[in-house]
Structure 1
Amino acid sequence: MILASDIPLNLWLALPTAAAYALTALIGPRVAANMGHRLLSVPWALHGLGLVFALFAPQDGGLRFGFAPALSVTAWLMLTFYVLEQHWFPQLRTRWTLSIVGAAVVLLAAAFPGTALHTQTSPWLPLHLALGVASYGLFAAAVVHAWLMTRAEKNMRMGADSHVGLPLLTLERLTFRFVTAGFVLLTATLAAGWLFGDSLYGAQAAWRWDHKTVFSMLSWLTFAVLLVGRSRFGWRGRKAVRVLYIGTGLLLLGYAGSRFVLEVVLGRVT
């Protein structure tokens, strides 16, 4: 028999958060827009509190991180940007499928909470990780807006209601603002890892050309090409969206993908 004391505390926090996300996804489309925004803020707040505990709980050895917490923080940041945008652009309609994404990553992070970072690493390492995950969140927000832009463009060509709430050009500007901001943070993250890898990770885990580094550099190059292509050659529409998707996929493989292989496939905790 499973006793309540046998259930990890992070799971106790994850279950009501996932349930709140699922309930929001179910009820949200049936209520007024203002009420829907308020509903979404409840699981979003619970998610944020859960992240603070999961990442910094002292009884679990301090700062913990891994592929699932990285995805959870990314989803929370993506929802944060989306919730804030709804205050600036009230006509932007809520995408309730994002609540399903939130519920999924919360449960995934509870099942795979990551590993405690070594005590010999630099106290600046959390800032380095925060920069990297913030870039993840910005690119995730860019992907969501690119998807909305593609859908709006397709519906406009078919003469149907776009069901987005924002003009196509506004969506495009927002998409590339997120891309630009994410590129700046990704550049800072890679530069810090290259210049200060010894002090951040220790001499045994400094900058080296492993799978994480290779995929991260490829993603950086892809986003650089995207921004140059838009600035110099006017890339937009499907071509720009495809390059964005490719760069984001490479970025996911860079950290989350490599950590998934280490933690789940190979069962390594280092």
Structure 2
Amino acid sequence: MQALPLAVMALILYVAAASWQGLTLTRRVPPRPALVRSFTGLGLLCHLPLAIGLLGQGDSLLPGLSTSAVLASGLAVLVLLAVSLFKPVLNVATGLLPLAGLTLVLATGLPSPERASGMTPGIALHALSSALAFAVLAIAAIQAVLLGIQNQALRHHHIRGVVQSLPPLTTMERILFELIWAGMALLTLSIASGFLFLDNMFAQHLAHKTILSLAAWVIFAILLISHHWLGWRGLRAVRWTLGGYAVLLLAYFGSKFVLEVLLSRG
């Protein structure tokens, strides 16, 4: 099957799952986590073949923009499905799944690189840990948005609607920091493996990614340290999480977009 029809099918399934979970959040339909996971899983079955097909392509050591976007969004959905079996994070699907579907559809229209010989195990470790870090922290960012909405509503004594459908505030905060800790571990592995297995992390085509990735690492490290020692939480934690993720988004996709799309240097 061609890439675009498969991507569109994944988008439809993701939107269906996200819509039901969104209606659950607004208390318009009863919770159906099995239904949401089923639609999400079917969408992932359409998503992953595109990621696997792209992963062995590229004219450089690291995956290009389309490959990185498809792989990272697919891993984010996979991680969300897995974590939702143990933690109440399925509400993140309302924001994550439509974004993953749109990313997949848009990525199929980006220039396709020529097939190359593939990556070494060390480079593969760097690429996979980078994608996983991005995926986990993407879930953390959407969790932070939900936490911010909940926090603001409770401050203004609005206890109906979405707030009633979310887990308690303390649970939401605990899950947020658990996700950030996991994402930080993966981001640390990504940066360390990059320095170990790439010839020069500050080469011209990697400098922006390296500097911004290190900046994101510092932001998340400050947040975790301050949460532990200074008790940072609530809206401050939300702002730092979203700020760190914004920097990471620029690190992973900003320079790739400029080089591969704007400057047509795939």
Partner of residue 239, structure 1: 236
Measured against aligned partners, the alpha-carbon deviations of 1:100-144 in whole angstroms (never above 9, x if no partner) come to 212201102211265357548534212210011110011111111
Measured against aligned partners, the alpha-carbon deviations of 1:39-91 in whole angstroms (never above 9, x if no partner) come to 2322123222332223247xx88998322332333333332333234333469
Q: Would you say the 8 A contact 2:195–2:201 is kept in 1?
A: yes
Q: Using the alignment, how far apart are the partners of 2:87 and 2:174 within structure 1?
A: 13
Larger Rg: 1
Partner of residue 211, structure 2: 214
Partner of residue 190, structure 1: 191
Superposition TM-score, scaled by structure 1 size:
0.81
Partner of residue 254, structure 2: 257
Partner of residue 120, structure 2: 122
Correspondence list, 1:52-91, <5 A: 52-56=52-56, 65-89=63-87
SS of residue in 2 equivalent to 1:267 = coil
Distance 1:37 1:112, change over 3 A: same
Unmatched runs of 5 consecutive residues or more in structure 2: none
Letter in 2 for 1:266: L
Identity of aligned residues (%): 28
Partner of residue 15, structure 1: 8
Distance 1:223 1:243, change over 3 A: same
Q: Using the alignment, how far apart are the partners of 2:89 and 2:171 within structure 1?
A: 12
Partner of residue 176, structure 2: 175
Distance 1:62 1:220, change over 3 A: closer
Superposition TM-score, scaled by structure 2 size:
0.82
252-261 or 90-99: which moved more?
90-99
Unmatched runs of 5 consecutive residues or more in structure 1: 1-7, 199-205
Q: Using the alignment, how far apart are the partners of 1:86 and 1:53 within structure 2?
A: 27
Distance 1:197 1:62, change over 3 A: closer
77-86 or 259-268: which moved more?
77-86
Partner of residue 110, structure 1: 108
SS of residue in 1 equivalent to 2:85 = helix
- CA RMSD of the aligned region, Å? 2.9
Count of residues in correspondence between the two structures:
253
Q: Would you say the 8 A contact 1:65–1:113 is kept in 2?
A: no
222-231 or 66-75: which moved more?
66-75
